[in-house]
Amino acid sequence: MHFEENNPLDIVLNDLFEHYRKNVADVDKISKALLDKGVVQSQDDIVNDHIAFRTLGIPNLGIASFEKIFKAYGYVKRDYYYFEGKKLDAYWFSPPAEGYPRIFVSELRVKELSQAAQDIIYKYTSPITSDPVDDLDLSNGQEAAAFLQKPLWGLPTSEEYQTLLNESEYAAWVIYNRYYLNHYTISIHELKDGYNTLEEFNDFLLSIGVKLNNSGGVIKTSDDKLLRQSSTVSALYDATFSDGKTLKIAGSYVEFAERSVLPEFAHLPKEELRPKHRRDGFETNNADKIFESTYTTQIKGS
């Protein structure tokens, strides 16, 4: 994913991807293997289906704050998703033009956590008394990109992190990782024959030693069968907390999506197929399992 930097959105997306690529070893590992095998001619041939972010559902933060950035760049808010067990709400946003990724943003229903977990979250976030996005000049791509890398709250102690982790893996992830890009997603259906089904692509991933999330099965399939998704499992990273202790914790991962052609466009010849002819949006049951790509159960399990 690389844009020409003709507008602030290009600058923001390039910067997000650069930080993510440097941190998540599987990103370059997969790109390099695709180049070596001649599946793509350059990194730019890899189509990015969507990117995802995680937020805390509290005043001045959460989706209501975060979405202002991408709405300013022409993104449109679309469907709502609810994850009861994980205590999450989410929306997806459609891009301003073909070639830009969709965005999936989720938010923790903080009020549904135990008092102990809420106290930890509020201890770090209560100093935020106004929406930090309101203070940004979003026409300045560098300023918006820097905001997405900037910690909005202090680091917790390792003990507080553990308390959150025991109750909500998502809460622990956000407290430490904040607005870091959670994943980018390779559009599998855009690749050449031999690699453009999720079965074939997952075989390729296994052959290069990439570990996949197997919660609910390695391939997650929507009810209409038209959206199929797989994802890697996050690596563990050394994280130092405010008490000076270091723990190995989850970071970001990579996702793979195969969007099939909608029945009403099934008659179109392959050369005429555009992204708009394929299944759009997301699927609650797929997403519910993909969240677990950063969960201890997936990282420690085999």
CB of 54 to ligand OOG, least distance (A): 5
Binding flag, residue 255, Ni ion (CB under 5 A): yes
- List the single partner that 291 binds among Ni ion, ligand OOG, none, CB under 5 to 8 Å by kind: ligand OOG
Residue 252 tokens read as: 């970001």
Instruction: Round to whole Å and give the CA distance between 101 and 117.
Output: 34
- Out of 104, 161, 180, 184, name the contact with ligand OOG by CB under 6 A: 104
Binding flag, residue 256, ligand OOG (CB under 6 A): no
CB of 79 to Ni ion, least distance (A): 14
Binding flag, residue 54, ligand OOG (CB under 6 A): yes
User: Are 17 and 181 a contacting pair, CB within 8 Å?
Assistant: yes
Which residue of the chain is nearest ligand OOG when measured via CB? 287
Residue 270 tokens read as: 């392959």
Binding flag, residue 106, ligand OOG (CB under 6 A): yes
Instruction: Round to whole Å and give the CA distance between 73 and 66.
Output: 12
Region of 93-101, 121-129, 234-242, 283-291 interacting with ligand OOG (CB under 6 A):
283-291
Neighbours of 25 (CB within 10 A): 12
Buried b (16+ CB within 10 A) or exposed e, 267-287: eeeeeeeebebbbbebbeebb
Residues numbered 224 to 253 that lie near ligand OOG (CB under 6 A) are: 229
Instruction: Round to whole Å and give the CA distance between 221 and 44.
Output: 27
Binding site for ligand OOG (CB under 6 A): 52, 54, 104, 106, 182, 229, 255, 282, 286-287, 290-291
Query: Rule CB under 5 A: which residues touch Ni ion?
Result: 52, 255
